């Protein structure tokens, strides 16, 4: 092999490996049945805010989370008791717990409690 061929091979290998890192890792809702997945999505959909706030923190729809204050929406994925939110190039993962039908607890670096706003 020539020196140019070896360099080209290494470049192609690096590009191939870096592309693999950007492919979706399969973080989707994993449940026993499709009904379980639909049930959790249905439970978390709605308008959510922090106690004492007059404006909503976010709105969860079937396929995205919308932040009204910045007029932006992002896709999310559920996996068992976690939610992953894809923010452009980055992402955040939170433990997700529904304490009551109108109480949503997200835990990442800190624990946050949100209450469902009536539509």
Domain-by-domain residue ranges, the chain?
26-117
Within 10 A of 46 (CB to CB), how many other CB atoms are there?
A: 19
Class of the 26-117 domain? mainly beta
| Phi, psi angles (nearest 5°) of residue 32 | -65, -40
* pTM over 0.95, yes/no: no
pLDDT digits (tens, 9 = 90+) for 58-107: 999 998 999 999 999 999 999 888 999 998 889 999 999 998 899 999 99
* Pairing status of strand 46-49 against strand 111-117: antiparallel
55 CB-near residues (< 8 Å, 6+ apart): 49, 68, 69
Q: How many CB atoms lie within 10 A of CB 106?
A: 20
Please tell me the predicted confidence (pLDDT) of residue 1. 61
The tokens for 114 are 């949100």
Q: What confidence tier does 6 reach under pLDDT thresholds 50, 70, 90? A: low
* Higher-scoring residue by pLDDT: 116, 51: 116
Mean pLDDT value across the chain:
78
The residues with which 94 forms a beta bridge, in sequence order, are: 83
Per cent of the chain over pLDDT 90 is 50
Rounded-to-integer distance, Cα 36 and Cα 52, Å: 32
């Amino acid at each position: 092999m020539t020196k140019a061929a070896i360099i080209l091979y290494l470049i192609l290998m690096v590009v191939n490996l870096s592309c693999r890192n950007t492919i979706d890792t399969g973080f989707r809702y994993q449940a026993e049945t499709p009904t379980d997945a639909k049930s959790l999505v249905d439970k978390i959909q709605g308008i959510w805010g922090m106690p004492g706030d007059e404006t909503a923190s976010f709105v969860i729809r079937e396929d995205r989370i919308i932040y009204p204050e910045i007029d932006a929406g992002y896709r999310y994925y559920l996996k068992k008791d976690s939610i992953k939110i894809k923010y452009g190039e980055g992402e955040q993962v939170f433990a997700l717990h529904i304490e009551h039908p109108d109480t949503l607890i997200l835990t990442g670096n800190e624990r946050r409690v949100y209450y469902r706003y009536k539509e």
